[in-house]
Amino acid sequence: MALLITDECINCDVCEPECPNNAISQGEEIYEIDPNRCTECVGHYDEPQCVEVCPVDCIPKDPEHEETEEQLMVKYEQLMAEEE
């Protein structure tokens, strides 16, 4: 699953620089996560870094983008290949 940022977001700016896939960006009102770039940090870290630093606990799994750990790893590998 990709993650999503809920409207409880306080725009504190701590999650965006922590994302190794550049999946987080400022939306119209709150930060947003691009589900095509979010791997829940699979391939980079054991835990999603945005969740680790979020002070208001507003980054749950996105039920509209369910993925297995294997699918997240494939996405990670594709993102890394794009950067080469």
The domains found in the chain, sorted by start residue, are 16-83 (3.30.70.20)
CA pair distance 80, 56, nearest whole angstrom: 30
Q: Are 75 and 3 in contact (CB under 8 A)?
A: no
- The closest of 8, 4, 12, 6 to 48, measured between CA atoms, is 4
pLDDT at 17: 98
**Global pTM value:** 0.92
User: Could you report the per-residue pLDDT of 53-82, keeping only the tens digit for each?
Assistant: 999 999 999 999 999 999 999 999 999 999
User: Could you report the per-residue pLDDT of 27-59, keeping only the tens digit for each?
Assistant: 999 999 999 999 999 999 999 999 999 999 999
Note the helical H segments in 2-68. 49-53
Where do we find the tokens 């080469």? 84
Instruction: Provide φ and ψ at 34, rounded to 5°.
Output: -80, 110
